[in-house]
Amino acid sequence: MGRIGTEKQNQALISALYCLAQMLYWSSGFATVGYAAAYLGSIGFSNRAIGLITALAGLTGFALVLALSVWIDRAGDGALTLGIGGVLVSQLLLIICLAAYRYAGFLPALLYTLFLSLGHVMNSLFSKLYIDLKTRGMGIDFGLARGLGSLAFAGSSFSIGYLLAQRPGLYVHWLTLVFYVLLLLVTLSLRLLCRRLPGKPESVSAAKRRETPLRIGPFLRDYRLFLVLVLGISLVSAANKTFTTFLVNLVVELGGDIGAFTRITGFLALIEIPVMLFFSRLRKRHSISAMLLMSLLLYAVKLGGAAAARSLPVLFAAVTAQTFAAGLYHPASVEFIRETIPHRDTAKCQALLDGAPVFVSFLTITGFGTLLDSLPARTVCLLLFLLALLGTFLSQAVIRHTRPAPLSRDRF
């Protein structure tokens, strides 16, 4: 009885630590990514240079996480912890280096590009960590953990904004360093606690590791249909990201100002949280495939409603679709990978699903940004709606024909 009690306590502690890891990661998210443009501008970078740095960081992050995921899936047990630890230590070193190069120049730009790139990498790694822990039988509620992460992001945004208002010259990344140190300690604690649990996570045998190539080509050939799903989700995600980027243009076109824009932005950030917090309850009534597909459809509905809006109140009403769109998508996409992909390929598939939309968003933001110079914002929003519909159509064609267990490559 004592041993069973200890195991339950360990599992409860692991669940709590994973929630804490998500909160620490997303708390650092505003300082790392959300504040990037303001920070770079404050040290002398032009808007064009900032756009180039952030775009290159997204593309570099995609390449890094894909390469790292191939190694993690091939190496098996322990590689994920080593990967997360390596990324966090690298970030800590970069924060210290960036403190000495607070001016516009090639070296600061290179360092900050790498800093942002590694920030993008961690999202996929912590999703993979959840999949591994769930495989061990942990009763972790990803929706709850992700929802708490979003709450932490909102709290961090408010707190850092207040600090910067009080101390404009504050090097905000010292706060990021604190978050990363704590995150590293939590990750190591999770690793040590998992070693106490009975059984072992599904890992790759030594013989299988020798057979599994480090090249991504064979994996992509095995998952050609999955790539169609990645393309579909990327189109929906890119349309939504482009809409968010140029939302201020639509607000102004409808008669609003920067105050209205900030209210809508804050509204979008908050309304998705309740759905994520109660995702596990929805999971008992609906399949992961249905919720994933519904989230994509609601993203399209949001864009369609925004394109049809002729006033700010109607725009506010249209973006409420974000409640279930983002609230369902974030946990459902991770659960979909966990339930439909062989464990040995989950890191690579998660990396593709997280990274490909960044690449497509780079293209759509550039293209639609150019269109905004000659077309009304509502017209551009209509084109984004059609792009999201196309992505939803491609995604549903794959999701509807995806079979759950048993785990096998021929599922896609």
Contact 253, 379 (CB under 8 A): no
Q: What single DSSP character describes residue 345?
A: G
**Structure confidence at residue 404 as a pLDDT band (50, 70, 90):** low
| Rounded-to-integer distance, Cα 277 and Cα 248, Å | 29
Give the helix, strand, coil percentages of the chain, each rounded to 5.
80, 0, 20
Q: Are residues 255 and 330 in the same domain?
A: yes
For position 387, what pLDDT does the model report? 95
For position 232, what pLDDT does the model report? 95
In the listed set 197, 230, 248, which residue is the last one of a domain according to the structure?
Answer: 197
Residue 388 pLDDT greater than 90, yes or no? yes
Q: Are residues 152 and 235 in the same domain?
A: no
For position 383, what pLDDT does the model report? 94
Let me know if residue 65 belongs to a domain: yes
For position 410, what pLDDT does the model report? 45
Q: Are residues 138 and 271 in the same domain?
A: no
Residue 289 pLDDT greater than 50, yes or no? yes
**Structure confidence at residue 258 as a pLDDT band (50, 70, 90):** low
Q: Which positions ≥6 away from 124 have C-beta within 8 Å? A: 65, 69, 347, 350, 351, 354, 355
In the listed set 153, 168, 197, which residue is the last one of a domain according to the structure?
Answer: 197
Mean pLDDT calculated for residue range 90-106: 83
For position 99, what pLDDT does the model report? 80
Residue 163 pLDDT greater than 60, yes or no? yes
Domain of 164, in residue numbers: 2-197
Let me know if residue 203 belongs to a domain: no
Q: Are residues 346 and 385 in the same domain?
A: yes
Q: Are residues 245 and 387 in the same domain?
A: yes
Q: Are residues 14 and 140 in the same domain?
A: yes
Q: Are residues 258 and 315 in the same domain?
A: yes
Query: Higher model confidence: residue 200 or residue 284?
Result: 284
For position 32, what pLDDT does the model report? 66
Contact 138, 15 (CB under 8 A): yes
Q: What single-letter amino acid sits at 210?
A: R
CATH number at residue 35: 1.20.1250.20
**Structure confidence at residue 3 as a pLDDT band (50, 70, 90):** low
Mean pLDDT calculated for residue range 8-25: 87
Residue 76 CB: number of other CB atoms within 10 A? 20
Let me know if residue 206 belongs to a domain: no
Helix boundaries (H) for 322-373: 322-340, 346-371
Residue 248 pLDDT greater than 80, yes or no? no
Q: What single DSSP character describes residue 1?
A: -
For position 203, what pLDDT does the model report? 47
pTM of the complete model beyond 0.75: yes
Q: Are residues 257 and 152 in the same domain?
A: no
Alpha-carbon torsion (153, 155, 159, 164), positive or negative: positive
| Rounded-to-integer distance, Cα 97 and Cα 88, Å | 14
In the listed set 149, 166, 197, which residue is the last one of a domain according to the structure?
Answer: 197
| Rounded-to-integer distance, Cα 341 and Cα 350, Å | 10
Query: Higher model confidence: residue 387 or residue 55?
Result: 387
Mean pLDDT calculated for residue range 386-411: 74
| Rounded-to-integer distance, Cα 48 and Cα 53, Å | 9
| Rounded-to-integer distance, Cα 304 and Cα 247, Å | 14
Let me know if residue 105 belongs to a domain: yes
Segment 191-240, tens digit of pLDDT: 888 776 655 554 444 445 445 555 666 777 778 888 999 999 999 999 98
Lowest pLDDT segment from 208-212, 333-337, 392-396: 208-212
Q: Are residues 78 and 182 in the same domain?
A: yes
Let me know if residue 85 belongs to a domain: yes
Segment 108-132, tens digit of pLDDT: 888 888 988 888 888 888 888 888 8
Q: Are residues 152 and 276 in the same domain?
A: no
Q: Are residues 59 and 125 in the same domain?
A: yes
Let me know if residue 205 belongs to a domain: no
**Structure confidence at residue 365 as a pLDDT band (50, 70, 90):** confident
For position 185, what pLDDT does the model report? 93
Q: What single-letter amino acid sits at 329?
A: Y
Q: Long-range pairs for 281-284 at CB < 8 Å and ≥24 separation?
A: 282/328, 283/143, 283/335
Let me know if residue 209 belongs to a domain: no
Averaged pLDDT score across all residues of the chain: 80
Let me know if residue 208 belongs to a domain: no
Rg value, the chain, Cα: 21
**Structure confidence at residue 403 as a pLDDT band (50, 70, 90):** low
For position 204, what pLDDT does the model report? 46
Residue bearing tokens 């909160």: 23
Mean pLDDT calculated for residue range 179-195: 87
First to last CA, the chain: 44
For position 1, what pLDDT does the model report? 45
Segment 127-144, tens digit of pLDDT: 888 888 888 778 888 888
For position 30, what pLDDT does the model report? 62
Helices (H) and strands (E) in the chain, counts: 19, 0
Q: Are residues 270 and 403 in the same domain?
A: yes
**Structure confidence at residue 153 as a pLDDT band (50, 70, 90):** confident
Q: How many domains does the chain have?
A: 2
Lowest pLDDT segment from 31-45, 204-218, 299-313: 204-218
Q: What separation in angstroms does the CA of 264 have from each of 158, 252, 298?
A: 16, 12, 18
Say whether 402 sits in a helix, a strand or coil.
coil
